[in-house]
Structure 1
Amino acid sequence: MNSKRSLARRSAAVAAAAAAALALAACGGSGDGSAGHNGHTATSPSASAPASPGRHNAADVAFAKGMIPHHRQAVEMADLAPSRAQSAEVKKLAEDIKKAQDPEIKTMSGWLTSWGEEVPAESAMDHSMHGADGMMTAEEMEQLKDSSGQAFDTAFMEMMIKHHKGAVQMAKTEQADGAYEPAKKMAGAIITSQTAEITQMNKLLGTD
């Protein structure tokens, strides 16, 4: 009788131990899952960090700071076309250039602001850049403003080809050296669109 009672006690103890083990396992499992979830939550911000505005380098800053005044000058040139150009193709080209580059100026200005960098001032059309990267000199801009008709069309396209070539080179540098994916993507779009426009202008000039 005592052996039966002892056996029953041992069986109950084993069952209790098993139940306790299961409870601990469940708790541990829940804890692991919770830790895993919490760990995932904790690492999510860093996982998304590459897409954050801070993930950039000096080449990205140089690209934005250089391309903003470059684009502004192209838009300034394009603004002259409606009242001076003779060719419908040149007027359309100027319209397309402005339509593409105005939003890019705003986008790049936003990047610089988010990076804590200064956006190039509009009033200072960075005269130090004139003649570099395809930028027009003050004299060339005056020449363009003073021309009209066929003379304007020719001058506009010759200058814009030079201007576009400078932008394409700047964009290639960004693709090679930059780290910020949106900037590298914009650089690719600039290379594609402006190379196509260079080809178009060369055809209109009869120099292709």
Structure 2
Amino acid sequence: MTLNNIKGANADAFALHPGYRRMFAQGQLTLGIFLPLRFYDGDMGVLTGQARVVSEIDELGFAAVWVRDVPLYDPTFGDAGQVFDPFTYLAYLTAHTRTIALATGSAIFALRHPIDLAKAAATLDCLSGGRLVLGIASGDRPVEFPAYGLDHNERGERFVQSVDYFRQLLADSSLPIDMPLGQLDRAYLLPRPVTGRIPLLVTGSSRQSMPWLG
């Protein structure tokens, strides 16, 4: 397995990133809002009007709007989470906002392939003018993994592989990628992020050690 050893970055690397700068304004307490405002319980009507509220809080100076990534509804889990696809929904909210950061809480890197994640993330980052911040995780709903043909117990390892692949795709590099999740040579990802990088914030432990998270 060939790795380019592209590591995470500290805050200084995102000093010019509009979304990160909005969320982590120096010396300020910032506030965001987490969607959905009301949980789905069989009636899609509870989701009506969310875009209007997000537009209003954008005007009021809120820092971020967060959406969850829940591919499948498990009635035994306790809640449906975010019903809409996170990237599609954030793209919709992009058109209704101007400055608020658009954040995932969290994109499930252990389920989605890194090429699809990187394509969606870079597209949304460009459409929003660099406002995307990715909260990422390994997933907490066991029923989803066999539906994807994956082993729930291996989500920690797959999470790390997906993060590595994602970072290499977004790096300004023509080096080949040779990993368990795929091999890539003589091709690269478009579009490129507005500021060259997209912030990744690991939520929870995602089955990783503290040194790795650090």
TM, length-normalised to structure 1 = 0.23
Higher strand content, 1 or 2:
2
TM-score (ref. length: structure 2): 0.22
> When you count helix as a share of all residues, which structure comes out higher?
1
